[in-house]
Amino acid sequence: MKNLLPVKKIMSLIIRVGRKSSIIKRSFLFLFLVVGFISCSEDHPEMYTASGAALGTTFHISFFSDEELDVESSLHSIFRVINNSMSTYQEDSDISRINDGETLIVVDSNFVEVFNSSKKIFRESKGYFDPTVGLLVNAYGFGPEGYAKNPQDHEIDSLMQYVGFNKIKLTPARRIEKEYPEVYLDFNAIAKGYAIDVIALYFNNNNIDNYLIELGGELVAKGRNIESNNPWRVAIDDPRQEKGERTFQTVLALENRALATSGNYRKFREDTVTGEAYVHTINPLTGKAQQSNLLSASVLAENCTLADGYATAFMALGLEKSQEMLERIEGVDVYFIYAENNNEMAVYASEGFKEQLQK
């Protein structure tokens, strides 16, 4: 009989490479492995784990392998490259230099992939997902600048002329051209998901067929948990839990898909007139912090880059517009937690998501 935890080697990685920015505060998917004691023969692959801090959050990775990998140096390299390309908190990163007005930067393939995925979601969401919203993020005090948190209408209006992903393009020479020098690019709402996909590609290239990667609550799973002979099982946080509690809304099996959650349900307020619960999120089309009854959006997609971006888009869209968008896209399943009148929580789950839920 063998327990999950005493594996041959446990790798603990502490890689501190920057802080995190987001248009809206993220809720986390709290990862846990549902396992027990099982019989395990010696010829089965060993389970290895890695954990630490990166991209302003934490990561936890479990994988099964017949041989040891140099995971520590590989992860360090991945995080370093992504930060050098897209971290708005790193002054000498490519994106920071572009935001500072440099026009001759030739971006790397990681930047290109994230740019193109962002363009796809920008179009599908009709502009509600917009990486140029960074000026507004900063104005509301959520970005690296951290200044005024309640901008006036005239300040918002002056910034809006520089907001719009259609005001920026990637040339065939892999340079960024802006309609206005002031346009500010921010990939923090999608780059974390992309980092997970890069880690998954590293495992795939090393013939690792069973793994679970979690970074800041976003996940990619492949294969199964060989120790329990079950799909990887993860949980979505319960928004009704009290401070200091750790309870879950639901549990699902994650197999060969990516899962991302975006939300700020701990920040909702109640309208004193209508009694309706709502949260504030920035509308890229108006620049205003608007009310929304969508408290959390969990998204299943083919990769974590898209899952991460879609989750952010849905939070900006709100419940009704998100449901409309789902009719225009394919390969995406969702689990929405939203607030009804009198502060009651409700759930909308697509049929594909329901099939993954544990009974």
Q: Write out pLDDT tens, residues 67-76.
A: 888 899 999 9
Residue 336 is predicted with a pLDDT of 95
- The Cα–Cα gap between 27 and 261 comes to 7
Encoding tokens for residue 235? Answer: 């949980």
CA 101 to chain centre: 27
Residues of the chain with pLDDT under 50: 1-41, 148, 268-269, 277-278
Which pair of tokens denotes residue 265?
């349900």
Please give the pLDDT value at position 247.
64
- Backbone φ and ψ for 180, nearest 5 degrees, come out as -130, 140
Beta strands in the chain (DSSP E): 10-12, 46-54, 57-65, 168-170, 176-178, 211-215, 218-222, 232-237, 248-254, 257-263, 269-270, 277-282, 289-292, 294-301, 333-339, 345-349
DSSP summary character for residue 325: H
How far from chain centre, in Å, is Cα 245? Answer: 23
- Per-residue pLDDT at 275: 54
**Region of residue 355 (left: phi > 0; alpha: psi -120 to 50; beta: else):** alpha
Residue ranges covered by each domain of the chain: 93-178
CB 313 within 8 A of CB 121: yes
Pairing, β 257-263 against β 57-65: unpaired
pTM of the entire structure? 0.83
Domain 93-178 coded CATH 1.10.3980.10: yes
| Alpha helices per DSSP H over the chain | 71-86, 94-99, 109-124, 134-139, 153-160, 191-205, 304-317, 319-326, 351-356
Task: Note whether 52 and 59 are within 8 A (CB).
Answer: yes
Measured on CA atoms in the order 75, 79, 84, 90, is the torsion positive or negative?
A: negative
Q: Where are the alpha helices (DSSP H) in 56-190?
A: 71-86, 94-99, 109-124, 134-139, 153-160
Residue 304 and residue 194 in contact, taking contact as beta carbons nearer than 8 Å:
yes
How many CB atoms lie under 10 A from the CB of residue 121? 24
